[in-house]
Amino acid sequence: EHALQAAKVASHLNAFIRLTPEVALSSSNESSFRYQRRGQRSPLEGVPIAVKDNYCTKDIPTTCASKMLEKFVPTYNATVVDRLIHAGAVLLGKTNMDEFSMGSGSVESFFGPVKNVWSKDFENDNWRITGGSSGGSAVAVASGICFAAIGSDTGGSVRIPASYCGVVGLKPTYGLISRHGLIPLANSMDCPGVLANNVDDCVSVLNAISGPDDCDSTTIKEPYPKVELPFLDQINVEGIRVGIPEQCSCEGLMPEVRDTWVKIADILEDNGAQVRRVSMPNILNSIYVYSVLNQCEVASNMARYDGVEYGHRASTAASTEELYAKSRSEGFNIVVKTRILAGNYFLLKRNYDNYYIRAMKVRRMIFNDFKQVFEKDGIDVLLTPTTLTDAPLYREFVTKSNRDQCALNDLFTTPANLAGIPAVSIPIRLSSNCLPISLQLMGNTLQENLLLRVAKWIE
Ligand code: GLN
């Protein structure tokens, strides 16, 4: 039944690249066997979950929304997928996204853009974008067909669509969830993330998929205690120190988003939290640092797609070099090609120090800004907007150059990826356009418990 409903959403909003009813059935049978055997329930037993199409799924095509991987069928499951199935979840389908996760709108997919379920008008490109790149996962949750969905967040790709689609989007601490089987965008920033209707549901999924993994050497080795949230009436924010980074009050912030931010800060204060303005002088430089580092890592990661081992292969080529060139120029979209070019330019011997090394230094300064507020100023959580505005109209979004779009949309989200800290987007209210407005909370490394407790109180 769910698969049928999903099929409707899939075709109308283009949220799925592929539905996987066969897996849904087999994994739900398997989980009920397990249930009978163990006589106990996992919170995800029989629960429908969608997974972004950049996670490898055994015997199920995994495309990254690219022509390059249109016919790629992995021989193994990503750790996240294995753990979900082990917990009894039902894999409902693979969700649509920006090609290779490069974008902030979910409009750059080989399979066409994803449409926001909150749109009033679907005619003449008047619909709203979902945000990206995990737009399909956000719509799968916002439209009610999934309990939760898995996305990936390198610079905001879980939190931005969560914000535009009115769901909770969590990017945990780097290394808390294994990246094994997640097709990389930028390894030093990639983070699997969870989208769900509320904080408690997010936690159920997080607890099922987090923890060390021998297949990913960057996972945090010590087993980290599972997140446990008290009932809402047992949570209070008294004494919690909330930081408001003054640099985030910047040009381009929609007045209604600013008002929401101020209002929630006031409510926190009225309930006993200590709300303080903090200065993070390097935080808005994240956009530049992110661009340089992301493109450098992309240039290196994309080198594997040469049309020989796997991925798209050009049908005619006179030499090996021509085969590489043709396969790559046919297989990638313009965004991917531009990033490969830019990345290789930054990595040229003559540019390396000036771009890559310099960006790494500023990354350290951003990291130190967080260290200062969390460890020296004693801040528990930082409160910012997630995005500058509510969901843009598709027609307006695609007129600006992709670079501008990314820069604008990722302003508040990239810092957490550069520093590896956890962050969550929480829907707060509707704007006068009848679209969700969301705020972001960021916490110190491995402070998911505290972060999500405050998030649950706010939601
Ligand atoms: N918009 C950013 C980019 O295009 C972030 C994407 C992401 O988090 N995957 O790189």
Number of helical (H) and strand (E) elements in the chain, helices listed first: 15, 11
Domain ranges of the chain: 2-235+384-458
pLDDT tens readout for residues 15-66: 999 998 777 656 655 655 555 556 667 889 999 999 999 999 999 999 999 9
Query: Ligand 1: distance of its center to the CA of 54 in Å?
Result: 13
Helices (H), 143-238: 159-165, 199-209
Which residue has tokens 């780097």? 174
Structure ipTM: 0.97
Nearest of 161, 186, 222, 187 to residue 386 by alpha carbon: 161
- Token pair belonging to 15: 């949220």
Pocket of ligand 1 (CB under 6 A): 101-104, 133, 153-157, 185, 294, 406, 410
Nearest CA to ligand 1 atom 10: 102
Query: Ligand 1: distance of its center to the CA of 340 in Å?
Result: 14
Q: Which atom of ligand 1 is nearest to the CA of 154?
A: 8
Give me the active site residues, please: 52, 133, 157
- Render 23-86 in DSSP notation, one character per residue: HHHHHHHHHHHHHHHH----TTTT-EEEEETTB-BTTB---TTSGGGTT---SS--HHHHHHHH
Q: Which atom of ligand 1 is nearest to the CA of 335?
A: 4
The greatest distance separating any two alpha carbons of the chain, rounded to the nearest whole angstrom, comes to 72
Residue 25 confidence (pLDDT): 59
Nearest CA to ligand 1 atom 5: 155
Confirm if 421 and 444 have CB atoms less than 8 A apart.
yes
Which ranges of the chain have pLDDT less than 50? none
Q: What is the pTM of this model?
A: 0.95
Residue 3 confidence (pLDDT): 66
- Token pair belonging to 234: 């047992």
To test ligand 1's pocket by mutation, which of 297, 406, 413, 414 has the most ligand atoms within 8 angstroms of CB? 406
Query: Ligand 1: distance of its center to the CA of 153 in Å?
Result: 7
Residue 39 confidence (pLDDT): 62
Residue 26 confidence (pLDDT): 63
Query: Ligand 1: distance of its center to the CA of 103 in Å?
Result: 5
Query: Ligand 1: distance of its center to the CA of 105 in Å?
Result: 9
Nearest of 108, 84, 120, 100 to residue 14 by alpha carbon: 108
CATH number of 2-235+384-458: 3.90.1300.10
Residue 303 confidence (pLDDT): 96
Residue 76 confidence (pLDDT): 97
Handedness of CA 448, 380, 418, 364 (dihedral sign): negative
Q: Which atom of ligand 1 is nearest to the CA of 153?
A: 8
The Cα-based distances of 232 to 173, 251, 453 in angstroms read 24, 36, 9
Q: Which atom of ligand 1 is nearest to the CA of 157?
A: 8
Confirm if 125 and 138 have CB atoms less than 8 A apart.
no
Q: Distance between CA 97 and CA 100 in Å, rounded? A: 8
Residue 53 confidence (pLDDT): 98
